[in-house]
Chains A and B, each alone.
Chain A
């Protein structure tokens, strides 16, 4: 990050009533709203569990080992996200120690890339899973299970996709000195949220037998 950008940043920190940054509260409030959205989708899935009038049914088709792996991949991406943020923060705090700043920034960027790669990996698993299911005769409109399953996991996957694009954008922008630790933190908040939603989905849909 260039000095000009740092100076700009210092100047930009307007005092706020609570001392918290606007965008951070915005992100939290937005995620609160998202909770209700995913809550509605998940509740709908649960309400319709076992109500399909034709197969294939979840028990015949869900591949728990495979999805466990993809869940693990997504979980690891959250870890990478934490490491990336730490890198960016340390770089920003390095002060005049130019060498340290560079090396921390490098770490931050590396883990940011890893997060995006792992996120893409998760999406790959999901695409594969959908493909397999369709092969086994479960389409979006086949039955209630197909309908609720694809819409729920599809919207989750879309969120992951948006997250990946966001992270990659941050990565690119960081080479232009335009990324502050706060930007990474906001992306991270979103990323962790999407991750937690997946853990709930995985538990309720895959692990609890119907």
Chain B
């Protein structure tokens, strides 16, 4: 595997993160449901074949198998498109993962999130996934903005004992962070200071928010930009501070309200 270029899709970070976790001693297994060439899970399978498996086109079975792995002590990753994970297997995530023992150690990494799979049509555009997974009580939910933050976010959730959902995307996006960045689960990242308004964004909308802040600056408006990669648990302090200090908040996410 070669390092990702400056412009890369967030989904490309998945195998890098899994390999990093294994190298750090985390007992990872990873499962795909016949979309591994797109989720990039296959690259992990090439490196650690004994820790990776494909279950065919069977997302419900994939979730149940992951729950069984987790019950036996493994850190179980599962990957598919965000339209199918959680769309096709929400009940399994609820009953087999979220409820047992306060949440089993299952990590969902769902690629092709949002509307940026446009040409695939309506059925492929996942604009409900975050609403579904944020309703699952023990789940952490993260929507990283670029390759580097996606890599670090997947590593971070891989080190917790809780279930989680990380949404990645298909298109290549410009890099925002470099290796000096330190992702912190549950914390917003201040990307640009500002005093008149705060733009809070996640995923691909973080880059858009930075461009918007630039445009606003040319009109004399000082916009703060927060990368709210972790949308659950939400960094309430950062939101409250933004409201207090800038008086207005605009949010931007690749999802329906």
Q: Does B bind A? A: no
A→B interface (CB under 8 Å): none
